[in-house]
Structure 1
């Protein structure tokens, strides 16, 4: 029988250190916004079950890369987690309960499963907020091993990493120092904020303003002065008819980024809102 599991309180998360944020529980907290009846204890127990099934395979004198190979074989071949190539933009790929239920995800949600299982087995796996495609990393004797959770956890060479990063750096491949900076471990806050940004972007494309506002609001619970989240929540509030909230958010955005590229369009939106009655839709 599962005992009730209390998820974190959104209103306390900003006060926690970047890695004090509980990764799995906060990811489930994000999912609970969309799936209010989800059972947090059940999903946590499922991750525990994966780790316990693996533990006997990792006993004895097995080096880290071999241990990680066994973990990936289990997660991506036996259990069947996979990258959702056919419906990459399906929001369910970003909600951890759905990722566990459907065994489908995007790089960052699959990485969270991989990280949580691996850390339960005493291995220091970290996320990497790589441009375009989230990765994971493991320290080894001669450096770091970088893996791609979207592609069954396969290793990614330094050459391929440079090729992947190049389009995000003006077409120039990163040098060794730049690449190491890009491959720095992602904190839990960085991971969770990237998950929320992914969701916000999907809902922006769909014009789902209620969920845009929600995703932006959750970003601000994690990091209250995130300028782009203030802007997007303000624009969503405008679409939802909440003029007072829209004015406050957009004005704060301009305070934080007075030289932003979109400053004129945001000012224009503020002017349009200046005569709007304050009402909450």
Structure 2
């Protein structure tokens, strides 16, 4: 029987870890535990291991990596039934891995995590891509990389489609080969987890659930304390919660970090309204 123990990290230690030492699954479950304090991490480790164990004989007997990942995708997306939640794309449950495992529904980044974790247990170095607008995954193959869309059943994507998808999120400008290659670089674990938290911030801010929005921004700062946008976002959430001291501190810090930001003038006006001293420009 495989060992299903899993230890979640502590929030206060995450900023000190190098990207390659930051555990993806345990930290994603740590994010979920904020909303679901009673979740059992070992249950989801067992579930992932069961997916991998079911596939192991077939995957080990297959030589080519594209065929291995095709078998994994078929099992996860066709047999088990993981799928993108098109009907309720902005449901926050799509970003919490325990809910994704239970409901078999997720958004691009959470489904990518499931795909990555199963593939890695089977020896395939599947990686995430912080593609603009829609998170993707990549697998090295002999002649390059295979790019797939976990939100749509792991469907492979060709260069023309990737270029078109990028264009719609880059102001209508289609990326050339060098820019597209940079976009397709693998995302470090920290970047993946921060993107998940930013998604949650956006969902909760849109819903007016400012306590959860503030928490999401605060968790980004636990991963990367110098993220100016998260400092601003937490400050704006604090403002909505009437935590005025926290709002003043965060918004003033944001302006010191990003004095030339496109929203700097509006943030300065907010600070004046809060009774804070207008930050001096240098």
C-alpha RMSD of matched pairs (Å): 1.4
Mapped partners of 1:92, 1:19: distance in 2 = 27
Q: Residue 45 of structure 1: CA displacement? A: 1.2
Match of 1:169, SS state, is: coil
Mapped partners of 1:137, 1:59: distance in 2 = 20
Q: Residue 59 of structure 1: CA displacement? A: 2.2
Mapped partners of 2:231, 2:181: distance in 1 = 31
Mapped partners of 1:210, 1:59: distance in 2 = 47
Q: Residue 61 of structure 1: CA displacement? A: 4.7
Mapped partners of 1:249, 1:135: distance in 2 = 33
Query: What is aligned with 2:201?
Result: 200
8 Å CA contact retained: 2:167, 2:174: yes
Match of 2:21, SS state, is: coil
CA deviations on 1:181-218 (whole Å, 9 max, x unpaired) are 00000000010000000000011111111011000000
Gaps of 5+ in 1: 276-281
Query: What is aligned with 2:93?
Result: 92
Query: What is aligned with 1:278?
Result: none
Mapped partners of 2:184, 2:26: distance in 1 = 25
Q: Residue 5 of structure 1: CA displacement? A: 3.9
8 Å CA contact retained: 2:194, 2:223: yes
Aligned pairs, number:
275
Mapped partners of 1:43, 1:76: distance in 2 = 17
Mapped partners of 1:177, 1:221: distance in 2 = 33
**Counterparts of 1:52-71 in structure 2 under 5 Å?**
52-71=53-72
8 Å CA contact retained: 2:62, 2:68: no
Q: Residue 247 of structure 1: CA displacement? A: 1.0
Mapped partners of 2:163, 2:45: distance in 1 = 36
Structure-1-length-normalised TM-score: 0.95
Match of 1:145, SS state, is: strand
Query: What is aligned with 2:78?
Result: 77
Q: Residue 170 of structure 1: CA displacement? A: 2.1
Query: What is aligned with 1:239?
Result: 240
Mapped partners of 1:270, 1:6: distance in 2 = 41
Query: What is aligned with 2:15?
Result: 14
Query: What is aligned with 1:50?
Result: 51
Cα gap change, 1:165 to 1:187, in 2 (>3 Å): same
Gaps of 5+ in 2: 277-282
